[in-house]
Amino acid sequence: MKYILDIKRDVDPDGDAYFWWLPFGFRFSDDLVHCRGYDTLAEIRKAAKTDVIPCDCQDCKSNIEELKAKEKAFFKEMLK
């Protein structure tokens, strides 16, 4: 699984800085965190190529399972 940066979905501007929120299943490589602050979008784009790895923490696992269950229920309902 490879992370693909989506500025609109994952980055929130906050005045003169940006908060980058990784989706469930990813974290930053040097620490078990899913959000970081950056000064520029260029820094985020550079970090997206090198600093993001898959995450298997309990929070990610449980949220991914919950999302899969909801998706499965949705499609099951659509096929009725």
State pLDDT tens for residues 28-70: 998 889 999 999 999 999 999 999 999 999 999 999 999 999 9
Domain that holds residue 17: 7-78
- Structure confidence at residue 16 (pLDDT): 93
- Structure confidence at residue 1 (pLDDT): 78
In Å, how far are 12, 25, 40, 79 from 54, measured between CA atoms? 21, 6, 24, 32
Say whether pLDDT at 80 is over 80: no
Kindly state the tokens that stand for 36.
């970081």
**Domain annotation covers residue 31:** yes
- Structure confidence at residue 45 (pLDDT): 96
In Å, how far are 15, 42, 55, 74, 80 from 1, measured between CA atoms? 32, 23, 10, 24, 32
Please return the burial class of 51, using the count of CB atoms within 10 Å of its CB with bins 0-12, 13-18 and 19+.
middle
**Domain annotation covers residue 16:** yes
The answer to whether 37 and 19 are in contact (CB under 8 A) is yes
Domain count within the chain? 1
SS3 state of residue 46:
helix
**Domain annotation covers residue 1:** no
